[in-house]
Amino acid sequence: MNAPSKSRADLAAGSASASFTLHGAGVSGGIAIGYARLVSTARLEVAHYDIGSEGIELELERFDDAINQVRGELDSLQAGIAAGAPAELGAFLSVHRMILDDPALSEVPRELVRARRCNAEWALVQQMDLLVAQFDEIEDAYLRERQNDVMQVVERVLKAMAGGANVPAPPSREENIIVVAHDLSPADMMMFKQHRFAGFVTDLGGVTSHTAIVARSLAIPAIVGLHHARSLLRENEPIIVDGVNGVLIVNPDERVLSEYRLRQDEIELAREKLKRLRRTPSRTLDGLSVELFANIELPQDVGEALASGADGIGLFRSEFLFLNRRDRPGEDEQFEAYRDVARTMDGKPVTIRTLDLGADKSITGAHEPGPNPALGLRAIRYCLAEPQMFLTQLRAILRASHFGKVHLLIPMIAHAHEIEQALKALAHARASLNADGIPYDKAMPVGGMVEVPAAALSLGTLIRNLDFVSIGTNDLIQYTLAIDRTDDSVAHLYDPTHPAVLQLITSTIRTANRAGKPVAVCGEMAGDLSLTRLLLGLGLRKFSMHPAQLLAIKQQVLRSALPELEATARRILRAPHPDRARALLEKLNA
Ligand code: PEP
Ligand code: MG
């Protein structure tokens, strides 16, 4: 991955419209051609200067104009909320409007400008620092969180004073917009799901970060780890996102543009052709059936899963129901979401993963993330620390099991006692439903995710209490190779074919097969075309991936013959050097 230099002049010989390229990691295939939409990050450092007594009125006017501009922007954002967007989006905007209208923000800085004859930006930031310090004192985590809202509103006003609009006029239709951000959280990505942007690029993030996973599920070209795209690009600048090769081309000339348009057409054509495979049974050349499931984040993703011809939902990341909102979804709301998916899948299995909160997916009022979030209170650890929240979810999932074929999946298990405690909580949920006379599937299978090496290595014992296993390779790779999935500075070390990773996957598949329990891979490896044959050769017969990738994987299955794959996969496992393993893998995919 090439880290570009920080100056545009270095890259483009000083010319604003000269073309240059940036390299990152492509996380979602395809090519997008459009215009840069810079998504703002906080920049609250401002200059401080004396305006003299004669400058006071003008400065106040500048400040008032900025406040009025932001008022207008918030109102138009509120009016433009797409139908079906989370109700919380409107609530966010109302809170920002209230903060803006509060005299503490719109009046006090004016008094400071008068008293100190200082510029309005500086006065505003002084007042913001004071307010934020007051929020810091508040015990209630929810209210303390509001300091972020204050900072975001101040940022908007500062931007308006700098002469910029926070809601730039769209350069063209939404389909031509490419979002350029320094970093986006999984929650930000969920908000973007309401739109139909052409692509995404970010400076930070690894290929298996949840942000990248959501970008992939949007099936639009995306690149992460570009380092300086946000600072180098200008609003509305024409760009090409090559999500296949992780290349961003800024200000392409006509020749490059027509080349990429051609490739775009080719990709589109290939996608259309793949649709013909929707109803084709997924079988290898020698007749072995391979199950292909879809991963979803929200109930509305289920349509795409069905359209891809998925055999079921292999992973419903239920925690996404909890993001971008101030409250937590109650039992009924969760039940309805799970039931709708179970019903829509019409008898096909729906694997609902219990909350995988913590790490990069945090919710309002949650535990403090801790010094090392990926190793902290996350997934099943989090649920066991929040028994009431866990019980609510378990009751909701059990209730939904009455309306389809629901499976329950416990994330990130490492200890036998975590499974035992989770099963106890489930027994408690069952007993409470029995007492309420509410029906549920008494035989609902319960599985565990193998995501930490400890689980893979001790699966022989853990599996006794499980009905099935799902390998979360994103985390398994993170924890085996000790690379934070969200940290792009170690993203180059992400290697699904590392011998340690392959050994853990192989032993997990073998242990599950020996125990006669189904095993799937639901991490990003399952949707990676270059690894399909290897996984088949290692004995995997169940894959779960984002629906956009499913038909391409099916095509690969249809073109594969098992005996050959098994022999080469064994040789890859025994390869004396990674280069040899890579060469064998290439041969396998040829
Ligand atoms: C994984 O870790 O591979 C997985 C499927 O779970 P998530 O990506 O949501 O952590
Ligand atoms: Mg995981």
Domain boundaries, the chain: 8-39+182-272, 53-163, 278-589
pLDDT digits 0-9 by tens, 245-254: 999 999 999 9
The CA distance from 525 to 522, in Å, is 8
Instruction: Give percent of the chain above pLDDT 70.
Output: 89
pLDDT recorded at residue 220: 85
CATH architecture, domain defined by 8-39+182-272: 3-Layer(bba) Sandwich (3.50)
Name beta bridge partners: 104: none
Q: Say whether pLDDT at 535 is over 80.
A: yes
Examine the residue annotation and report whether 227 is marked as an active-site residue of this protein. Answer: no
pLDDT recorded at residue 169: 42
Domain 278-589 in CATH: superfamily? Phosphoenolpyruvate-binding domains (3.20.20.60)
Q: Which of 470, 522, 542, 545 to mutate to test the pocket of ligand 1 (most atoms within 8 A of CB)?
A: 522
Distances 278 to 295, 405, 554 between C-alpha atoms, Å: 17, 22, 9
Q: How far does CA 4 lie from the centroid of its chain?
A: 25
The CA distance from 528 to 530, in Å, is 5
Report which of 205, 246, 200 is spatially closest to residue 225, judged by C-alpha positions: 205
The CA distance from 569 to 583, in Å, is 12
Q: Whose CA is nearest to atom 1 of ligand 1?
A: 472
- Residue 317: CB within 6 Å of ligand 1? yes
> Average pLDDT for residues 342-347, to the nearest whole number?
97
Least confident of 23-27, 44-48, 267-271: 44-48
Sign, CA torsion 306/311/313/314: negative
Report which of 450, 373, 374, 375 is spatially closest to residue 419, judged by C-alpha positions: 450
pLDDT digits 0-9 by tens, 138-154: 776 667 667 767 877 88
- Residue 496: CB within 6 Å of ligand 1? no
Q: Which of 323, 449, 450, 484 to mutate to test the pocket of ligand 1 (most atoms within 8 A of CB)?
A: 449
Least confident of 164-168, 309-313, 350-354, 413-417: 164-168
Asked if 179 and 199 count as a contact pair (C-beta separation under 8 A), the reply is yes
pLDDT recorded at residue 41: 44
> Average pLDDT for residues 526-535, to the nearest whole number?
96
pLDDT, averaged across the chain: 88
pLDDT digits 0-9 by tens, 357-406: 877 776 766 677 788 889 999 999 999 999 999 999 999 999 999 999 99
Structure tokens at 261: 């348009």
> Average pLDDT for residues 49-58, to the nearest whole number?
90
> DSSP characters for 375-388?
GSS-HHHHHHH-HH
> Average pLDDT for residues 411-432, to the nearest whole number?
98
The CA distance from 488 to 224, in Å, is 8
Least confident of 177-186, 259-268, 498-507: 177-186
How many angstroms does the Cα of residue 52 sit away from the middle of ligand 1?
58
> Average pLDDT for residues 206-216, to the nearest whole number?
76
Residue 1 pLDDT level (bands cut at 50, 70, 90): very low
168, burial (CB in 10 Å: exposed 0-12, middle 13-18, buried 19+):
exposed
How many angstroms does the Cα of residue 424 sit away from the middle of ligand 1?
24
CB count, 10 Å around CB of 314? 28
Q: Say whether pLDDT at 422 is over 50.
A: yes
User: Which of the pair, 6 or 449, is modelled with greater confidence?
Assistant: 449
Q: Give the closest ligand to the alpha carbon of residue 208.
A: 1
Q: Say whether pLDDT at 436 is over 70.
A: yes
- Residue 119: CB within 6 Å of ligand 1? no
For the domain spanning 53-163, the CATH number is 1.10.274.10
Residue 2 pLDDT level (bands cut at 50, 70, 90): very low
The 20-23 sheet, strands edge to edge: 20-23, 247-250, 238-242, 31-38, 177-181, 199-202, 222-224, 25-28
Ligand 1 atom closest to Cα of 451? 2
Ligand 1 atom closest to Cα of 359? 10
Enclosing H/E stretch for 37: strand 31-38
Q: Say whether pLDDT at 289 is over 70.
A: yes
Asked if 485 and 502 count as a contact pair (C-beta separation under 8 A), the reply is no
- Calculate the dihedral angle through the C-alpha atoms of 126, 129, 133, 138, rounding to the nearest 10 degrees: 110
> Average pLDDT for residues 315-343, to the nearest whole number?
92
Provide the CB-side half-sphere exposure for 212 (13 A, CA).
27
Least confident of 89-98, 345-354, 375-384, 559-568: 89-98
The CA distance from 100 to 541, in Å, is 56
Q: Say whether pLDDT at 570 is over 50.
A: yes
Instruction: Give percent of the chain above pLDDT 90.
Output: 63
Examine the residue annotation and report whether 522 is marked as an active-site residue of this protein. Answer: yes
How many angstroms does the Cα of residue 523 sit away from the middle of ligand 1?
5
Residue 420 pLDDT level (bands cut at 50, 70, 90): very high
